[in-house]
Chains A and B, each alone.
Chain A
Amino acid sequence: MARYIVKRIIYMIISLWIIATVTFFLMHQLPGDPFSDGKKVQPEILKNLEAKYGLDKPLIVQYGTFLKNVAKGDFGLSLKYRNRTVNDMIYDGFPKSLTLGVAAVGIGLVFGLAFGIIAALNNKGFFDYFVIIMAVIGVSVPNFVFASIFQYFLGRQWALFPVAGWKGPKYMILPIIALGVRLIAQQARMMKTNMIEVMGSDYVKTAKAKGLSKTAVVRKHVIRNSILPIVTMLGPLIAGIVTGSFVIEKIFAIPGMGKFFVDAVNQYDYTLILGTTLFYAALLIFMVFLVDILYGFIDPRIRIDE
């Protein structure tokens, strides 16, 4: 196990290095620069700015400096947000996005799995059709539509929750639900499909032939085997959602991380592009790794042996 983990960590570092390198050179291929912004800037000023951020040096030298700093965990100064380091910005924004994301994944799993299980046990019954229709709506309607509907009814008409902002727990509820709807729908659909498949499997027939009650069969044999595929996709899903949603954070005016991903590219904020990309990549790779380790505890067939 220890050997496996060490090996995986080495692979993770190599992956991150490749991602960093590719992003760095692709980014510098973009036509345009961070300072002109479409307007004419005095050549002297441009020169000064480039000198300040080290952009006047040859690309390969810049790459070397960048790698050296990243190795120390330093992403450098943002080119657009004056006097703010990229580390600061992530440090400020990430906890907010993380809170929203974790809560959304939480309700997604709890309600999604519960609905999926009930729908599967009630296959082709009223509740099943209800869940499936809701799930299709939840998956196909974009979340900003839900966000606006929630804001209008829950926020304005009935004034149950604040419409937007970030000043305490009350402000989190609408964005969490708006983010969670799709997750609930996805998990419910997936869980239902898995359950139906597992309930038709031979080992469930064996369990029934033993004389176990229907609840015991579902509880001991069906659910665990149905959750396995869901665990697999949980890693990338969590990494994606905790790094913030551009749309949801914009609508609810939440100063999270989501907007950096989009703004950085539009504004040629080189350091911010690299910072957010690497942060997201590291998180994603780490989540996948974590899920692989966890998976071994749930599925004995892929338990990592010495």
Chain B
Amino acid sequence: MSRDENKLLIDVKDLRVSFDTYAGEVQAVRGVSFYVNKGEALAIVGESGCGKSVTAQSTMQLIPMPPGRIKEGSVMFNGKDLTKFTDKQMESVRGSEISMIFQDPMTSLNPTMKVGKQIMEGLIKHQKMSKQDAKQKAIEMLDVVGIPNPEKRVEQYPHEFSGGMRQRAMIAIALACNPKLLIADEPTTALDVTIQAQILDLMKDLQKDFDTAIILITHDLGVVADMAQRIVVMYAGVVIESGTLDEIFYDGQHPYTWGLLKSVPRLDTQGKQKLYPIEGTPPDLFSPPKGCPFAARCEYAMPICREEMPEKTHLSKDHFVKCWLQHEMAPDVENPIKKGRE
């Protein structure tokens, strides 16, 4: 699904977010742009500390401010700029228009409040429901997310739920008010593999039923393949490549994207082929490099890469990449992803 002004739900433009610490300014997000259409699923991928979560939480103004601050950029949601919203205005957006689920279901629910009540809170606030109605709806939501005995479960506390069930409860909280956008911040990272698959299936089903757009934040491309229509690859606070699922998986152009794809374990590899790691660590965001942030770890790096950040190169309507290898004077590099598949 490519950009379509009529279907556009959220349009983030040149978002810059910094955290002021005693040691200096951490530039966590350095000019990120992406959009999501209604009902679409977008994945933001990248390794830990590359600004995925901060980007997502900034759209809802959920980063702690201070020390965090949105320096520049706009987050247009249904035609309104969320970065200009006051706290009160944001409250009416959070939970009702945009919801969020977090990485660790073990710590994301209040341990001293009944699960049902935690679902009811949003309903009472946004839909002005009475307690009885909200409770009925909470039971219904627990049922929708596949928790057996919802009438009993609604009266229980989080510690009586397993990890997978807690994440289901989180999804119930997030979807209770029928939001237009669900931001899932590493929703399966803390769960074991079989539960991961269940939660992803559930999210996929509910996305259809509720017609909700999803921003899926993950470092696991295996999770993405199943769910997202488009992918944004982030590195060190910038978007370095973006495209549809197929464009990224089969025709990714950035060496970092190749690295991510090669580091996914596959069933069809031959014998003793080792898993491919990306050597090194991301740059320090106190003083981001002036050139391409990936240059220090890139096996194809050229002198120009360290000097200047490459511009966007558009390869198709949806697909762009920021890499000097796209320059006409750059040497031809064989795409290892394509090669691996042939």
Contacts and interface: CB of A to CB of B under 8 A. Distances in A.
Contacts of A300: 111-112, 157, 159
A208 to B, nearest CB: 6
A301 B95 contact: no
B253 interface: no
Interface in A263-306: 298-301
Contacts of B126: 211
B157 A209 contact: no
A51 B42 CA distance: 93
A98 interface: no
A207 B112 contact: no
A210 B112 contact: no
B186 interface: no
B54 to A, nearest CB: 13
A208 B122 CA distance: 10
Q: How large is the interface on B (under 10, 10 to 19, 20 to 34, 35 or more residues)?
A: 20 to 34
B87 A214 contact: yes
B112 A225 contact: yes
Contact of B108 (A203, A213, A301): A203
A221 B113 contact: yes
A216 B126 CA distance: 13
Interface in B101-143: 102, 104, 107-113, 118, 121-122, 125-126
B62 A301 contact: no
A205 B157 CA distance: 18
Q: Is the interface of A mostly helix, strand, loop or mixed?
A: helix
A209 B94 contact: yes
B122 A211 contact: yes
Given A203-B111, A300-B159, A209 B60 contact: yes
Interface residues of A, number: 24
Contacts of B108: 202-203, 205-206
Nearest to B91: A211
A211 B94 contact: yes
Interface in A176-215: 200-203, 205-214
B96 A211 contact: yes
B216 interface: no
A224 interface: yes
A130 to B, nearest CB: 20
Nearest to B126: A211
A209 B99 contact: yes
A203 B113 CA distance: 11
Given A210-B121, A212-B122, A299-B112, 13 more contacts: A203-B110, A205-B62, A206-B110, A206-B118, A208-B62, A209-B60, A210-B173, A211-B94, A211-B96, A211-B126, A212-B125, A221-B110, A298-B112
8 contacts: A208-B94, A209-B174, A210-B121, A210-B173, A211-B96, A212-B95, A212-B122, A301-B112
Pick the 5 closest A-B CB pairs, nearest first: A211-B95, A211-B94, A210-B95, A202-B107, A300-B157
Interface of B: 60, 62, 64, 87-88, 90-96, 99-100, 102, 104, 107-113, 118, 121-122, 125-126, 157, 159, 170, 173-174
